[in-house]
């Protein structure tokens, strides 16, 4: 065996030795370490998922407690009557005309049992109400704001608004769903649960909606047609503002805290002085003097 052959054999032995050493390292150290790391990652994920589940369960439990506090009374018939009375008082408070509140029969709500998946458990009832009536945009906005601030477990399913005639009124139809839960703490009384300020629209947002008055777009000319023609006093000494509609010659005599009928606009007379009148046009205040039109004092651009 010559010298060259010996070096080749030695080199091959070194290569095979390194190969077997690498295999031994992978099988005895690297692979077990990777398996342990994978197991550690799995356990860490399971622990994180468990904590998330516990946190979610706690939040769900708190939410369920609030639902029981806000829900209608657990007796569905008493709940049906109590909430209908609440809606009628809300309608009366905001002077909604030609109003009606109809209530459906309670519909049972059931869920699948966690213990026996084939069994369903009744947890409460769903009640549907239909509210109809006529009022100004400002009145409907006030009503809906108060509705949103009530702590009852209710929501509006549909809302339809249709302008009416020349009196600035809107005919509305509102469908409302309310829940009565078996876990409620009251038998016949509604909840007084407070609504906390979250991401709900503010009172200012509701007022801005009235000021924008989307229903009056294209009807700005109607405000230019209404002029303050006179200020008089009746036999009791109460001031009266006389507004005349150009073209038709129609005159409306309005006292303080009364509405002025103008198509698709909410206008009220707030204060009457000998030479001028304070009016609110879609919630914004303006002073109008004799001979001026409402459109002039509001500086509203006429529709072309």
In 3D space, the residue among 300, 164, 294 whose CA is nearest the CA of residue 225 turns out to be: 294
d(CA 292, CA 300): 13
Domain of 268, in residue numbers:
216-298
Q: How many domains does the chain have?
A: 3
Q: Are residues 64 and 83 in the same domain?
A: no
Domain boundary among 188, 212, 236: 212
Mean pLDDT of 15-44: 70
Q: Of 26, 54, 69, which one is at a domain's C-terminal end? A: 69
Q: What is the mean predicted confidence (pLDDT) over 11-34?
A: 68
As beta bridge partners, residue 122 has: 110
Residue 40 backbone class (left: φ over 0; alpha: ψ -120 to 50; beta: rest): alpha
Residue 2 lies in a domain: no
6 band by pLDDT with thresholds 50, 70 and 90 = low
Strand ranges for 16-65 from DSSP E: none
Does residue 180 share a domain with residue 126?
A: yes
User: What distance lies between CA 87 and its chain's CA centroid?
Assistant: 17
Is 303 domain-assigned?
A: no
Q: Above pLDDT 90, what percent of the chain?
A: 37
Q: How confident is the model at residue 286 (pLDDT cuts 50, 70, 90)?
A: very high
Average pLDDT, the chain: 82
Give the C-alpha separation, 271 to 301, whole Å: 25
Identify the pLDDT of residue 127. Answer: 95
Residue finishing a domain among 212, 246, 265: 212
Examine the pLDDT at 88 and tell me if it is beyond 90: yes
What's phi and psi for 192, nearest 5 deg?
-110, 25
Query: What count of Cα atoms within 13 Å lies in the side-chain half-sphere of residue 161?
Result: 17
Rounded average pLDDT over 178-183: 90
My answer on whether 137 and 236 are in the same domain is no
Residue 200 in any domain: the answer is: yes
Mean pLDDT of 176-205: 81
Q: pLDDT > 70: what percent of the chain? A: 76
Domain co-membership, 194 together with 152: yes
Give me the pLDDT at residue 21, please: 66
Amino acid 180: pLDDT: 92
Q: Are residues 39 and 121 in the same domain?
A: no
Helix axes 137-149 and 76-93, enclosed angle (nearest 10): 140
Task: State how far the Cα of 281 lies from the Cα of 231, in Å rounded to an integer.
Answer: 19
In the predicted structure, residue 235 carries a pLDDT above the cut 70: yes
Q: Are residues 147 and 196 in the same domain?
A: yes
Residue 153: closest CA among 132, 116, 125, 131: 125
pLDDT band at 167 (very low <50, low <70, confident <90, very high): low
Residue of 28 and 126 predicted with greater confidence = 126
Q: What pLDDT score does 23 carry?
A: 67
Mean pLDDT in residue range 215-228: 75
- Which residues are CB-neighbours of 68 under 8 A, at least 6 positions away? 181, 183, 184, 185
Rounded to whole angstroms, the Cα distance separating 271 from 286 reads: 11
Which pTM does this prediction carry? 0.64
What's the CATH code of the domain at 258? 2.30.30.830
Number of C-beta neighbours around residue 30 at 10 A: 11
Considering the domain architecture, whether residues 57 and 91 belong to the same structural domain is answered as no
pLDDT winner (highest mean) among 66-75, 143-152, 192-201: 143-152
Q: Note whether 244 and 120 are same-domain residues.
A: no
Residue 300 confidence (pLDDT) = 55
- The answer, yes or no, to whether residue 29 has pLDDT greater than 80, is no
Tokens for 260? 């002025």
57 pLDDT higher than 60: no
The pLDDT score that the predictor gives to residue 18 is 65
The answer to whether residue 43 sits within a structural domain is yes
């Amino acid at each position: 065996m010559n010298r060259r052959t010996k070096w080749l054999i030695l080199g091959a032995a070194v290569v095979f030795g390194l190969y077997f050493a690498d295999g031994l390292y992978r099988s005895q150290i690297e692979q077990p370490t990777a398996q342990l790391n994978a197991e550690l990652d799995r356990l860490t994920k399971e622990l994180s998922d468990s904590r998330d589940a516990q946190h979610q369960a706690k939040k769900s439990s708190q939410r369920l407690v609030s639902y029981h506090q806000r829900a209608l009374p657990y007796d569905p018939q008493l709940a049906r009557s109590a909430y209908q009375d609440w809606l009628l008082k809300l309608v009366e408070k905001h002077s909604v005309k030609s109003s009606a509140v109809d209530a459906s029969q309670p519909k049972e709500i059931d869920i699948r049992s966690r213990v026996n998946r084939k069994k369903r458990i009744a947890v409460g009832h769903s009640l549907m109400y239909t509210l109809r009536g006529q009022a100004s945009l400002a009145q409907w906005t006030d009503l809906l704001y108060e509705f949103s601030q009530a702590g009852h477990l209710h929501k509006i399913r549909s809302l339809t608004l249709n302008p009416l005639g020349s009196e600035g009124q809107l005919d509305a139809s509102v469908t409302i769903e309310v829940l009565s839960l078996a876990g409620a703490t009251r038998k016949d009384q509604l909840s007084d649960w407070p609504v906390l300020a979250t991401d709900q629209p503010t009172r200012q947002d509701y007022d801005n909606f009235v000021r924008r008055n989307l229903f009056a777009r294209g009807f700005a000319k109607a405000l230019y047609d209404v002029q303050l023609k006179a200020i008089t006093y009746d036999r009791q000494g109460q001031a009266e503002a006389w507004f005349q509609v150009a073209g038709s010659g129609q005159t409306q005599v309005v006292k303080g805290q009364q509405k002025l009928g103008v198509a698709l606009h909410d206008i009220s007379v707030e204060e009457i002085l000998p030479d001028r009148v304070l009016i609110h046009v879609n919630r914004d205040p303006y002073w109008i003097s004799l001979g001026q039109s409402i459109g002039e004092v509001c500086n509203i651009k006429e529709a072309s």
